Amino acid sequence: MATVQVRRVRCPYCGQEFEVPSTVSLAVCPYCGTTVWIQTGEQFKEHYMYPVKLEYNAAYSQAIGVALRQFEAPERLELDASPSAGMIHFVPLYLYHIRVRAECPDNPEAGLEEDWANRLATTSPPRGLPETYRFPVRGRRFFEPRTLKRGKYYQPDLDPKRLLETVTSGPSLKAYREALNWCSEPKLVDESKWVGIVHYPLWEVRYRYAGEEYYSLVDAVTGDVIFLEYPIESSKRGVLLAAAGSMIAVASLLGAAVGSKISSATYGLIGGLVSGMPGALVYMRSGTRRRGEYRGV
């Protein structure tokens, strides 16, 4: 395993020194919560957070509720499962103010797009969190250092300026297309900017059922279940395998019927079998493993 390179940083507020990975450009002092620019050592003031609105017991209930809606889950899951561990993750987001416009000679704001947006700012997020997860952009407040003691805190390690290009691509295209109603060659003007860092809370919820531990990730602000492992009841595996077999059989028969009219029933049978396999494999995998997975996005 490769050794992670680190550097020492001195906090401009409390004077304490601490270590951060060399890939980090902005760091938060673990002693006082001050956000520091690594290269200059200066304090970065635009640091925000979202308050935790969902406590652990509620997050656990959310996860179990989603698990119970899965066909393969045991009916007694709510009664027989018990929470085994819980930890809150504070993941970093970069906050952007988006303002792009496409100008025409007779209309300087023919196409105008203005909004707030954020993007995940770490390359090592909690397990189950996709890069495309849609975090809310409203409801933030200034960062409170005491949150460092409550859970796992993630340092941002991505370049905020490079991410800005991906954030503005969609609004720029929309503004340009709108301006085409006014002129044939609009001029695109991008005044978007990076505003600051936001730390967002996510609950890691672990629970036990029949001697096994299962993992889930729950949004601590909205209550959405982002990722969830759940047990598969043995009596329902047969139903899933039967569904897989039926899917393959139907696809094969349809392929053979179509193939006999076009060229060869044999080729059609093979084509139908191949086309039916991807969907059937979902059922087959669910029917042969002990745990299923739910992804909320």
- 119-169 pLDDT, tens digit per residue, is 999 999 999 999 889 999 888 898 887 777 788 988 888 888 889 988 999
**CA 70, CA 205: separation in Å to the nearest integer?**
18
Query: The tokens of 149 are what?
Result: 């003691």
* R_g over Cα of the chain: 26
Backbone angles phi, psi at 8, to 5 degrees: -95, 135
Residue 65 CB partners (closer than 8 Å, separation 6+) = none
**CA 30, CA 32: separation in Å to the nearest integer?**
6
**225-234 per-residue burial string, b: 16 or more CB within 10 A, e: under 16:** bbbbbbbbbe
Q: At what angle do helices 237-262 and 265-288 cross, to 10 degrees?
A: 170
**CA 214, CA 219: separation in Å to the nearest integer?**
17
pLDDT of residue 54: 94
pTM score of the predicted model: 0.75
Distances (CA, A) of 280 to 111, 203, 245, 283: 47, 33, 7, 5
- 91-122 pLDDT, tens digit per residue, is 999 999 999 999 999 888 889 999 999 999 99
DSSP conformation letters of 97-113: EEEEEEEETTEEEEEEE
- 221-241 pLDDT, tens digit per residue, is 999 999 999 999 876 555 555
Residue 247's pLDDT band (boundaries 50, 70, 90)? Answer: low
